[in-house]
């Protein structure tokens, strides 16, 4: 597995270590539970894998152009590792809350394995350029996508830590 994706899995496992099914409970109705956070991450990983699969099906990158604003956002997020607070998640990665912790951790493992495979095949077929758009920060290369997931996972691990305390 790619080191960035191994890092994502390690972060999730460390953040959820020792938790039980009480992790499904929302202490604040306006904020996701720990289980919902992990489900969100799993959905984000599999969403990127699906995007890479679409690139492979078409045989071409699906990346558009990048605005100056998006370039700045990419620099801040991917290069500096600063993830903004309070931004709403895209619809396709909003958790359902239907699963328990063990199920979402297992789904996360599967999603990361799928993402690793799809990223590897996409890199082999399409190279290292921009391949797929992120809904907010624009066109990213495979390496940028994988680094994005590390930063995104760290962001949510901090949320999990706050909910644990």
Cβ-contact 105, 18 below 8 angstroms? no
pLDDT value at position 114?
98
Distance, C-alpha 106 to centroid of its chain: 15
Q: Which domains does the chain have, with CATH numbers?
A: 3-19+27-164 (1.20.120.450)
E-state strands within the chain: 130-134, 138-141
Place of tokens 């396709």: 92
* pLDDT recorded at residue 52: 98
Q: What is the pLDDT of residue 106?
A: 97
Q: What is the 3-state secondary structure (H, E, C) of 111-134?
A: HHHHHHHHHHHHHHHHCCCEEEEE
Residue 155 corresponds to which tokens in the numbers above?
Answer: 């962001």
Report yes or no: 11 and 158 within 8 Å, Cβ to Cβ: no
The one-digit pLDDT tens for each residue of the chain (165 residues) are 999 999 999 999 999 999 987 888 888 888 999 999 999 999 999 999 999 999 999 999 999 999 999 999 999 999 999 998 888 898 999 999 899 999 999 999 999 999 999 999 999 999 999 999 999 999 999 999 999 999 999 999 999 999 988
């Amino acid at each position: 597995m790619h080191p960035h994706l191994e890092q994502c899995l390690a972060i999730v496992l460390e953040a959820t270590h020792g938790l039980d099914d009480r992790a499904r409970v929302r202490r604040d109705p306006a904020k996701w539970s720990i289980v919902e956070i992990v489900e969100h991450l799993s959905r984000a990983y599999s969403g990127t894998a699906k995007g890479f699969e679409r690139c492979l099906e078409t045989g071409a990158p699906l990346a558009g152009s990048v605005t100056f604003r998006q370039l700045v956002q990419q620099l801040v997020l991917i290069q500096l590792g600063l993830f903004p607070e309070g931004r709403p998640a895209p619809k396709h990665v909003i958790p359902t809350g239907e699963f328990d912790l063990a199920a979402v951790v297992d789904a996360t493992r599967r999603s990361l394995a799928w993402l690793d495979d799809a990223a590897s095949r996409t890199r082999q077929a399409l190279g290292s350029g921009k391949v797929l758009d992120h809904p907010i920060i624009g066109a990213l290369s495979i390496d940028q996508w994988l680094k994005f997931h590390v930063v995104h996972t760290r962001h949510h691990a901090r949320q999990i830590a706050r909910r644990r305390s």
